[in-house]
Structure formats: structure tokens, C-alpha cells
């Protein structure tokens, strides 16, 4: 061997020996979406995990993480992704709820407007009528008109606030 080759081999051997104390523990688990997550921090909660140590230590199975993660520790990618998906889902649900409420408010407003128009027509002196079971027009008498007025006023009082 030449001096350069011997120097390179010695340098490689020295760096390998220097890095051997830096054995790091990594954790591998499946998240709720079924993806495999590999991290240097233990999995959150009581998720089944596989702990490995870089450097050839055999794999061990943990049913619960033994090390508590400090509150100010940085979040893993899986945790950030889960939080992001949760925020997206909450945003979608809120948008759907707001859309339903807006639709209900529009319908309520339209019904109130129709009821007010009907009340105005009933309070006028114009002749009014209804349709019988066969679809033939029938004139409304004073008792029917009074009952319809009362029903219409009650509807407006309950619905149109």
C-alpha cells in the first residue's frame, strides 16, 4: 500500500470509531392513516411502535411509549400533518354548517315575505278564494277569512322575528 491509501484507510477507521458512540434511537410506527412513520421521538399516546437503535441493536416492541415528550419539544412531521388534516376537516365542517344556516335563513326570509304579502291581501277588501279538492275556485266567507288572518298572523309572529 502506498502512503495515501494507508492514510485514507486509517482516516476511515478513525472516523468510524469516533461515530460509534453516537448511537441514536429511532422509532417506527404506523399512524392513523396507515403510513409508516420513522422518527427520533417516541410515538404519541399508546400507539403500538417498533423501537430501533441505529448500530445493530435488535428491534424491540413497545405497547406504550416510555418516554414522555416535553411540551415544548418540536412536533414530528406526522403530528403536524395530523393537526393540519384536523384543521382542514374542521374548516370544511364549519363551511358546510355556515352554508346550511345561510340557506335556512334565506328560506325563512322568503317565507316571511310571502306571509306578509298574504296578510296584506287578506286585510284588503278584495274578494279572496281558495281551491277545493277538485281544483275549482271557491269564494272565501268572512269566517274563513278571519281564520286565515289569525293563522297568518301567528305564522308571522313565530317565524318573522
Model confidence over 6-43: pLDDT tens digits? 888 887 877 776 665 555 677 788 888 888 888 877 78
pLDDT band at 63 (very low <50, low <70, confident <90, very high): very low
Please name the helix (run of DSSP H) or strand (run of DSSP E) that holds residue 80, with its range, or none.
helix 77-123
pLDDT score of 44 more than 50: yes
Residue 75 grid cell: 412536533
How far is Cα 109 from Cα 156, in angstroms, rounded to an integer?
11
Q: 3-state class of 66 per DSSP?
A: coil
How far is Cα 15 from Cα 95, in angstroms, rounded to an integer?
57
Who contacts 48 (Cβ-Cβ below 8 Å, separation ≥6)?
29, 30, 61, 62, 63
pTM above 0.75, yes or no: no
Beta bridge partners, 137, equal: 131
- Per-domain boundaries in the chain: 23-64, 83-159
Cβ–Cβ under 8 Å, residues 76 and 50: no
pLDDT band at 75 (very low <50, low <70, confident <90, very high): confident
* Edge-to-edge strand list for the sheet holding 57-62: 36-39, 25-30, 49-53, 57-62
Q: What is the pLDDT of residues 82-127, one digit of tens each?
A: 999 999 999 999 999 999 999 999 999 999 999 999 999 988 888 8
Amino acid at each position: 500500500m502506498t502512503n495515501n491509501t494507508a492514510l485514507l484507510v486509517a482516516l476511515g477507521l478513525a472516523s468510524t470509531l469516533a461515530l460509534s458512540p453516537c448511537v441514536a434511537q429511532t422509532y417506527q410506527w404506523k399512524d392513523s392513516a396507515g403510513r409508516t412513520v420513522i422518527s427520533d421521538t417516541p410515538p404519541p399516546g399508546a400507539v403500538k411502535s417498533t423501537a430501533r437503535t441505529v448500530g445493530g441493536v435488535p428491534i424491540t416492541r413497545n405497547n406504550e411509549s416510555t418516554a414522555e415528550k416535553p411540551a415544548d419539544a418540536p412536533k414530528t412531521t406526522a403530528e403536524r400533518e395530523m393537526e393540519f388534516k384536523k384543521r382542514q376537516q374542521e374548516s370544511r365542517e364549519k363551511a358546510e354548517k355556515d352554508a346550511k344556516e345561510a340557506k335556512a335563513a334565506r328560506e325563512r326570509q322568503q317565507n316571511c315575505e310571502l306571509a306578509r304579502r298574504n296578510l296584506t291581501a287578506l286585510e284588503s277588501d278584495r274578494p279572496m278564494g281558495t281551491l277545493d279538492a277538485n281544483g275549482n275556485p271557491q269564494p272565501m266567507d268572512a269566517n274563513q277569512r278571519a281564520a286565515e288572518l289569525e293563522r297568518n298572523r301567528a305564522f308571522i309572529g313565530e317565524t318573522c322575528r
